[in-house]
Amino acid sequence: YIAYDAPMPESDPARPRYRYYRDEALGPDYERAMDELFGIYSQALPRVCAWAEAEFPRGGDEPAAAHARAIKAKAFDLLRGLLPASSLSHMGIFAAGQSYEQLILHLLAHPLPEARDYGRMILQELGRVIPSFLTRIERPERGGQWIGYLEARAHAGERWARRLGLDAADGPAGPSVTLLRAEGDEDDLLAALLFEAGASSEEHIRSAIGGLDDEARGEALADLAGLRTNRRHRPGRGLEALRYRFEIVADYGAFRDLQRHRMLTVQWQSLSPDLGADVPEQVEQAGCGEDYRRGLERSRREYERLAGSGLAMAAPYALCLGYRIRFVLDLNAREAMQLIELRSGREGHPSYRAVAHEMHAQIGAVHPAVGAMMTHVDRETEPRLERVLAEMRGQARVAAGR
């Protein structure tokens, strides 16, 4: 956990320094706005913790330490929408040489100077251990042309978006999940699930499937999915015969959680305040709703100042994670099962749980058999202390290891 509510240890108590991205080009107003956001967050956190402790008292079987951690996790989840996109974090990357080459090239072609700086730093570090994988990057006729191509492609997209009038937000500002397209049907699914088990051509398999009545078809799909006693027990690659394209409007924090799934295609638009933000109901109940709204408004004003000062690419740094963003998830049924069952889990954040629930409902509407295969979707939505069971399991593992 990164202590976003606490200033960095080396900072001056009179002028606390919180963990967010800084750049002199963004100006002193930017730092003042970020400090104010972190200040609101820091002051609200103990109040929300106190509310959660009163709302969800410790049960007799809950260890005090596990309950305390779950209370804090609840408060973090409720208030994370106040943190700005500029909040610093840490991450690790494990990849093959060619993947690193692609990553560095994309960073070096990025319009933000800090992205290019990280590209150069990664290149320098990797040059000490895998130099042979990176020789093309610094050659003008290879890496140079590649970077130029990526830059030109991005500029072409922006130019055509302006030309077609697509560069302004449209549609409702509220959260939404829309299934834009579903590809394939139950015959495609059955044929793909049976292909590896048989020795016939797909044409012959489809002919055999065509002779099944509805009852036999349902029985076959259930048998081929198997008895899944664990969400990690997933049907085979036959599920990849079906594909779904969803357009989603959700808060930026939920987007970042969904974006990092590896088994899908994700595209997103720029973060802006145009799609709005909401105050979580439980934050209102904790008496921090006005403070939350004040943070959202301060964030929006700083975004507009930066964008109006010619810093449109950097302006999203100022926006709270609670502001919504529009993005697309394009994934096959096997990938959808992994994402939906994981992200609907009781420990998850309510924002992305709501997205997972709606994706499951819309897939079930067009492909009932696929929806029925997702037997580990947690659809409970009653108020609860989401992390307490996970904390209890963690404490039990620690105790068992002693």
pLDDT tens figures, 192-240: 999 999 899 999 999 999 999 999 999 999 999 999 998 989 888 999 9
Tokens representing 59 are: 């049960």
- Residue-wise pLDDT tens digits, 5-40: 777 666 666 677 889 999 999 999 999 999 999 999
> In this structure, is residue 266 part of a structural domain?
no
Comparing CA positions, the residue from 318, 293, 300, 274 lying closest to residue 27 is 318
pLDDT, average across residues 272-296: 96
The verdict on residue 18 lying in a domain is no
Query: Confidence band (pLDDT; 50, 70, 90) for 111?
Result: very high
What's the pLDDT score for residue 9? Answer: 64
Token pair, residue 26, equals 């963004």
Question: What distance in Å separates the CA atoms of residue 355 and residue 254, rounded to the nearest whole number?
Answer: 9
- Note the pLDDT of residue 394: 66
pLDDT for 87 equals 95
pLDDT tens readout for residues 92-102:
999 999 999 99
DSSP state of 261: -
The predicted structure's pLDDT at residue 387? 64
Q: Looking at residue 388, what is its pLDDT?
A: 60
Helix axes 28-55, 289-308, angle to 10 degrees: 160
Same-domain pairing of 150 and 46: no
Mean pLDDT of 339-364: 94
- The closest of 63, 158, 67 to 111, measured between CA atoms, is 158
> 248 in helix, strand or coil?
strand
**Does residue 133 share a domain with residue 78?**
no
Q: What is the rounded radius of gyration, in angstroms, for the C-alpha atoms of the chain?
A: 24
Unique residue bearing structure tokens 């594909």: 243
Residue 98 amino acid letter: Q
Domain assignment of residue 268, yes or no:
no
Average pLDDT (231-252) is 94
pLDDT for 398 beyond 80: no
Instruction: Please tell me whether residues 44 and 82 are part of one structural domain.
Output: yes
Q: How far is C-alpha 204 from the chain's CA centre? A: 42
Per-residue pLDDT, averaged over 316-323, amounts to 98
Q: Which of 141, 167, 193 is the last residue of a domain?
A: 167
Round to whole Å and give the CA distance between 147 and 224: 47
Q: Of the ranges 88-92, 112-116, 343-347, 390-394, which is most confident?
A: 112-116
Separation between Cα atoms, residue 302 and residue 81, nearest integer Å? 16
Query: pLDDT value at position 169?
Result: 81
φ/ψ of 161, rounded to 5, equals -60, -40
Closest to 250 measured CA to CA, from 357, 145, 162: 357
Q: Which of 141, 189, 134, 167 is nearest to 307 (CA)?
A: 167
Q: Considering the domain boundaries, does residue 125 fall inside one?
A: yes
Q: Which range of residues forms the domain containing residue 155?
A: 97-167
Query: Which pLDDT tens digit goes with each residue over 63-102?
Result: 888 889 999 999 999 999 999 999 999 889 999 999 999 9
Min mean pLDDT across 129-133, 262-266, 269-273, 300-304 is at 262-266
132 exposure class (CB count in 10 Å sphere: 0-12, 13-18, 19+)? exposed
140 and 50: one domain?
A: no
Which residue among 138, 167, 196 closes a domain?
A: 167
pLDDT-based confidence at 180, cuts 50/70/90? Answer: very high
Average pLDDT, the chain: 91
pTM of the model: 0.90
Q: Please, which residues bridge with residue 176 across strands?
A: 249
Side chain identity at 376, as an amino acid letter? H
- Asked if the structure places residue 19 within a domain, the reply is no
260 occurs within a structural domain: no
Is residue 82 located within the same domain as residue 102? Answer: no
Q: What is the pLDDT of residue 191?
A: 96
Pull the structure tokens for residue 197. 């088990």
Rounded-to-integer distance, Cα 50 and Cα 37, Å = 21
Do 309 and 347 have their domain in common? no
Given a cut of 90, whether residue 358 has pLDDT beyond it is yes
> Is residue 319 within 8 Å of residue 85, measured between CB atoms?
yes
Q: What is the pLDDT of residue 10?
A: 66
Confidence band (pLDDT; 50, 70, 90) for 397? low
Is residue 375 pLDDT above 90, yes or no? yes
In a domain, 398, yes or no: no
Assess whether pLDDT exceeds 60 at residue 392.
no
Q: Pick from 80, 81, 77: which is nearest to 385 by CA? A: 77
Same domain, 145 and 244: no
Q: Rounded CA gap, 144 and 139, in Å?
A: 6
DSSP secondary structure of 185-214: -HHHHHHHHHHTT-SS-HHHHHHHHHT--H
Residue 255 near residue 347 (C-beta atoms within 8 A): no
Same domain, 312 and 333: no
Among the ranges given (124-138, 141-155, 225-239), the one the predictor scored with the smallest mean pLDDT: 225-239
- Report whether 286 contacts 78 (CB < 8 A): yes
- CA-nearest of 387, 390, 389, 336 to 363 is 336
Give residue 384's pLDDT. Answer: 74
Q: What is the pLDDT of residue 64?
A: 87
Residue 269 lies in a domain: no
Q: Is the pLDDT of residue 1 over 60?
A: no
Q: What is the mean pLDDT of residues 330-335?
A: 96
Mean pLDDT of 311-322: 97
194 and 303, same domain (yes or no): no
Do residue 216 and residue 245 come from a single domain? yes
d(CA 258, CA 266): 9
Task: Give the number of domains in the chain.
Answer: 3
Q: Are residues 242 and 348 in the same domain?
A: yes
Looking at the chain, the whole-number percentage of residues with pLDDT higher than 70 is: 93
Per DSSP, 321 falls in state T
**pLDDT at residue 60 in the model:** 78
CB-side neighbour CA atoms (13 Å) of 106: 6
Structure tokens at 362: 């819309």
Within this chain, do residues 220 and 343 fall inside the same structural domain, yes or no?
yes
Run of H or E including 267: strand 265-268
